[in-house]
Chains A and B, each alone.
Chain A
């Protein structure tokens, strides 16, 4: 925080275009500050899928296309915190070509800080902040740890699920939850062998899960093939409305998790649980 500047001065400066103060405001939100951004409807895309399939690389390809079309693109890229040290290695942005040079691209790496669900806490107010500051395309990359990642639907209007050539055969078992909820599916690394088969097995899986409506795109972040079509589909994808109940539920769970993790008595209760001096029920009771 700049010396002498209050958080709300910093936010005003962010709203009038200061990149540095946008960045500082996001930090303040991450650390618990709350601001009132005028209610509006941000454009959001969630990108999820197992680690290593190329989510960050593909977002990098999309960024370049959007920038060419005159959009201002902001990315919040989430990586896991280490449960032992509390530290995190945030390496998504290094895969995003063009993340670091254009004025119309803003990338912020976030650590989960052990917030469950593959997302960081307080994603929602960060999205509102970016939107208020004029970012027209807001992309959230999740940690990518499989079935638990349903929570992304609570925070973004469209969900892109990315998978890779070596994973197609396990997709049915592993991704049963998110596969049904994805609006768009991309099989990345089409430059490698087996990607056709992976796409086929995903098509079969979604045919069983939710009918043939969700299209499956074969793309390569490395050679760019299929990315134009994917972008077109992302742009024309209608915002899913049939999930309001699920979204409400996931938002509630996320807020509940945040409150628990921020509880001042948490460490003490964990100490007692560790030594066995209280039961789980007693622990829950004392954290209410």
Chain B
């Protein structure tokens, strides 16, 4: 799969994003890492230009509430509804339902095993193959875990 790993907003914590990017590469994926401090608009542009099938957002600064929905909406507006969106970092459990409602299919916190992230991607691409909805703009109650 072609996957973009992005760091939205002013958050400067990039260790987790880099660990995840490398693990996905080792799992056989082609991973584009955006680097720090991207706006939601830039992230949507990168996903489009790279023709990525999935987007992973890493956020540890507490701004996920505003940034993650902005990216999801941007993707839908640009007709990128089939892109699979997932996230990780410091995202409190109380905030997760509303992100899932925005179309985020999986959220991984500190200590998440990279093998589990790979399993999620396998399950998600299995859904694409069998025609089940999984993209950020596709109506789907499905989420990982």
Contact = CB atoms under 8 A, between A and B. Distances in A.
Contacts of A20: 48, 78-80
Contacts of B33: 89-91, 94
Given A91-B33, A93-B34, A94-B33, A19 B28 contact: no
A108 B45 contact: no
Interface in B6-42: 21-22, 24-35, 38-39, 41-42
Interface string A3-24: 0000000000000000110011
A-B complex: 4 closest residue pairs judged by Cβ atoms? A94-B35, A87-B25, A100-B42, A23-B51
A89 B42 contact: no
B127 to A, nearest CB: 15
Contact of A93 (B27, B46, B51, B78): B46
A82 B25 contact: yes
Nearest to A111: B30
A224 interface: no
Contacts, number: 70
Interface string A42-79: 00000000000000000000000000000000000000
Chain A, interface size category, equals: 20 to 34
Contacts of B25: 82, 85, 87-89
Contact of B49 (A82, A85, A107, A111): A107
B51 A90 contact: no
A19 B49 contact: yes
**Interface residues of A, dominant DSSP:** mixed
Interface of A: 19-20, 23-24, 26-27, 81-82, 84-91, 93-95, 100-101, 106-109, 111
Contacts of B50: 23, 90, 108-109
Chain B, interface size category, equals: 20 to 34
A90 B28 CA distance: 13
A106 B31 contact: no
A24 B51 contact: yes
Contacts of A84: 26
Residue of B41, B50, B78 ringed by the most chain A CB atoms within 10 A: B50
B51 A26 contact: yes
Nearest to B45: A100
Contacts of A107: 49
A86 to B, nearest CB: 5
Given A23-B50, A106-B49, A90 B30 contact: yes
Contacts of A90: 30-33, 50
Contacts of A19: 48-49
A101 B42 contact: yes
B27 A87 contact: yes
A39 B108 CA distance: 49
A179 to B, nearest CB: 31
Nearest to A82: B25
Contacts of B42: 100-101
